Amino acid sequence: MKILHGIGASKGIAIGKITLCLNIDNHIEKKTIIDVEAELARLDEAKKTSVEALNAIYAKALKRVGEANSMIFQIHIMMLQDEDFYGAIQTAIREEKLNAEYAVWQAGQQFSEMFSQMDDEYMRGRASDVIDISKRLIRNLDTRLANGLDSLSSPTIVAAADLMPSETVQMDKEMVYAFVTQEGSKSSHSAILARTMGIPAVVGLADQFNELSDGAEIIVDGNTGDVILEPDEATRTDYRAKQEEFIKHQQELKLLKGTKAITKNGVEMEINANIGHPEDVDLALENDADGIGLFRSEFLYMESNQFPSEEEQFIAYKTVLERMGGKRVIIRTLDLGADKQVPYLNLPHEENPALGLRAIRICLDRQDLFLTQLRALIRASAYGKLAIMFPMIISVDEVRQIKGLVEKVKNDLTKEKIPFDPHFEIGIMIETPASVMLSDELAKEVDFFSIGTNDLTQYTLAVDRMNHSISKLFDSRHPAVLRMIEMAAQSAKKAGIWVGICGESAADTSLTEFYVKIGVRELSVTPSAVLELRRAVQQIDIK
């Protein structure tokens, strides 16, 4: 038995066997081979296995989701058998003497690049399919890389270097007891994803990650960050009891559904949920959230091979608004850049991406994209109680530019006789020290502030939120951060606008009383933390 210590990123306890999912892009090796024929035979064998697997998946999907939705697997089989693609791999083995794994990976990259530049939308959509089939071939060539997040077939504990949002999207949640990762910190987006899914997670294991092996039994304690390798019987029994206790606690919290978050002295708080996908509304409703306090719209962009169209976005926003049935839904405009990249945006390499071209800076730079999103959002306002929020603001000028564009879209829609709600709220995220310092002026421009404590902590303390080696310094309770929050709250109060918090520390119940005292009236947290926070509010009594 061995105990490893990481960062507890999503609460809960899991006991099970590890499935080691190595990221192919980081582990692919380039080798020179001698026996070309043997390498070609290996490739043929991997292709045969891949086609068999795809046929089996197709047959299963046909029964479950019908012909139209299963067609994709037939397309994958055809692509695997495509002369050009397969021929390019064979040529690289024959002429460049490359190992089959690398030859496949290289052809996958080349063909994907080629597809993504085609004019035809259908063909552009094939760019990700060619990557999928390449990965399938590689997994059948190299046993080290055999497991993928998208191919889990029985419930397991996933161990991965990091969780890429693009991979977790394809993952079957039912198959995952817990996550353990080498990279990441409490406020990295992989940790946020795990919390949203309500799956226990320990992140940032760093070098200790190398101790994990495929199939080994482990216990993951997402509360403490402990990972116990090959536990003995006494430890297993101990953790089973802890697991039951945790489940009991969760059941007790369920009794709070239908109650309100009102302090003993009568202050009412709005406890909302943070989501990344329209489907996460299920989790928000299941946990009885008062509304959606942060819909990170960039995930729509990250799951796609190209910019989602106005219509696609409109449907996603409308779905969330309708399903929340008149409760407030705050949708944040796209916050790409830094750790959230999409290849089709073609952002240049940056030395300091967290300080680079990201979020509202991209939107004001690429106004065509921004206007498309604003149109989709404002059209969706007709279907519920929408509020639009803008990230990474550092100046009054940015807010005025944004408001000008919002007015333009409203005018266009009016001329086109497209319905929308003219009274939707506009707010900004307070997540840069500049926005705090200017909060008195910014408050006069908008309807609300939502404090993003993840980035506000990062920028106030100059501590990278992604860097696990300094994760101890990443402290959202640091006095400098708390003073920033208080200053923004005071500015909001003076201007008569409401202020909320949507960063991860909104869920820190040791800060709830402080937040209530300084005038914060909305807290938005991962869905699974809503009821715990409601209970914390109900216990507060400010004399």
Which residues does the annotation place in the binding site for phosphoenolpyruvate? 296, 332, 454-455, 465
The span from the CA of 162 to the CA of 179, in Å, is 10
Segment 228-237 long-range contacts (CB within 8 Å, at least 24 positions apart): 228/1, 228/2, 228/3, 228/4, 229/1, 229/2, 229/3, 229/4, 230/1, 230/2, 231/1, 231/15, 232/1, 235/1, 236/15
Closest distance between ligand PEP and the C-beta of residue 107, in Å? 35
- The least CB distance from residue 192 to ligand PEP, in Å, is 6
CA 502 – CA 523 distance, rounded (Å): 6
Contact between 195 and ligand PEP by CB under 6 A: the answer reads: no
| Choice among 21, 76, 468, 502 that is catalytic | 502
Element (H, E) at 262: none
- The question of whether 363 is a catalytic residue gets the answer no
Which of 76, 189, 277, 468 is labelled catalytic?
189
Look at residue 321 and give the partner it binds from Mg ion, ligand PEP, none, a contact being a CB closer than 5 to 8 Å depending on partner kind. Answer: none
Contacts of 415 (CB under 8 A, 6+ apart): none
Catalytic residue at 189? yes
Tell me if residue 231 falls in helix, strand or coil: coil
Footprint on residues 419-438 left by Mg ion (CB under 5 A): 431
Q: Which residue lies nearer to ligand PEP by CB, 136 or 296?
A: 296
**Site for Mg ion contains 455 (CB under 5 A):** yes
Q: Shortest distance, CB of residue 498 to ligand PEP, whole angstroms?
A: 17
The minimum distance between CB 13 and ligand PEP, in angstroms, equals 26
522 lies in the site for Mg ion, by CB under 5 A: no
Q: How many residues does the chain have?
A: 543
Residue 296 binding: pick among ligand PEP, Mg ion, none (C-beta 5-8 Å cut-off by kind)? ligand PEP
CA 269 to chain centre: 26
Pseudo-torsion of CA 229, 233, 234, 235, nearest 10°? 20
Q: Please report, as residue ranges, which positions from 270 to 299 form the binding site for ligand PEP (by CB under 6 A).
A: 294, 296
Other beta carbons within 10 Å of 352: 8
What minimum distance in Å lies between the beta carbon of 83 and ligand PEP?
A: 45
**Token duo for residue 396:** 């009054």
Contacts of 337 (CB under 8 A, 6+ apart): 347, 353, 356, 357, 358, 359, 361, 362
Nearer to Mg ion, 112 or 454 (CB): 454
185 contacts ligand PEP (rule: CB under 6 A): no
C-beta of residue 475 within 8 angstroms of C-beta of residue 453:
no
Binding residues: 296, 332, 431, 454-455, 465
502 binds ligand PEP per the rule CB under 6 A: yes
The residue written with tokens 């709250």 in the block is 489
Of residues 200, 231, 384, 452, which one binds ligand PEP by CB under 6 A? 452
* Residue number with CB closer to ligand PEP (181 or 450): 450
Collapsing DSSP states into helix, strand and coil, what is residue 518? helix
* Per-residue x/- track, 322-361, ligand PEP (CB under 6 A): -------------x--------------------------
Q: Which of 221, 503, 516, 520 binds ligand PEP (CB under 6 A)?
A: 503
Contact between 464 and ligand PEP (CB under 6 A)? no
Angle between helices 396-415 and 367-380 (to 10 degrees): 60
Shortest spacing between CB 54 and ligand PEP, in angstroms: 36
Instruction: Report the binding-site residues for Mg(2+).
Output: 431, 455
Q: How far apart are CA 239 and CA 220, in angstroms?
A: 9
280 binds, among ligand PEP, Mg ion, none (CB under 5 to 8 A by kind): none
What CA–CA distance (Å, rounded) separates 177 from 357?
37
Segment interacting with ligand PEP (CB under 6 A) among 133-141, 176-184, 317-325, 446-454? 446-454
Enumerate helices (H) and strands (E) in the chain, giving the number of each.
Answer: 20, 16
Q: Does 454 bind ligand PEP (CB under 6 A)?
A: yes
Nearer to ligand PEP, 198 or 452 (CB): 452
Q: Which of 431, 464, 522, 532 binds ligand PEP (CB under 6 A)?
A: 431
Binding ligand PEP (rule: CB under 6 A), the pick from 381, 453, 460, 471 is 453
**Order of all β-strands in the sheet with 13-21:** 2-5, 226-229, 217-221, 13-21, 156-160, 176-181, 201-203, 7-10
Per the DSSP assignment, residues forming a β-bridge with 471 are none
Kindly state the smallest distance separating residue 301's Cβ from ligand PEP, in Å.
Answer: 13
Alpha carbon distance 392, 331 (integer Å): 14
Largest Cα–Cα distance of the chain, in whole Å? 82
Kindly state whether residue 452 participates in binding Mg ion, applying the rule CB under 5 A.
Answer: yes
Rounded CA gap, 209 and 201, in Å?
14
Residue 427 is a binding residue for ligand PEP (CB under 6 A): no
Q: Which partner from the list ligand PEP, Mg ion, none does 502 bind, CB cut-off 5 to 8 Å by kind? A: ligand PEP
Tokens of residue 356, six digits: 């680079």
Q: Which does 261 bind (CB under 5 to 8 A by kind): ligand PEP, Mg ion, none?
A: none
Contacts with ligand PEP by CB under 6 A: the residue count is 10
What whole-number distance in Å separates Cα of residue 493 and Cα of residue 496?
5
Residue 225 found at the interface with Mg ion (CB under 5 A): no
Shortest distance, position 503 Cβ to ligand PEP, whole Å = 3
Check if the beta carbon of residue 231 is closer than 8 Å to that of residue 18.
Answer: no
Q: Which stretch binds ligand PEP (CB under 6 A): 306-314, 433-441, 450-458, 508-516?
A: 450-458
Which spans of this chain sit near ligand PEP (rule: CB under 6 A)? 294, 296, 335, 431, 452-455, 502-503
Which spans of this chain sit near Mg ion (rule: CB under 5 A)? 431, 452, 455
| Residues that are catalytic | 189, 502
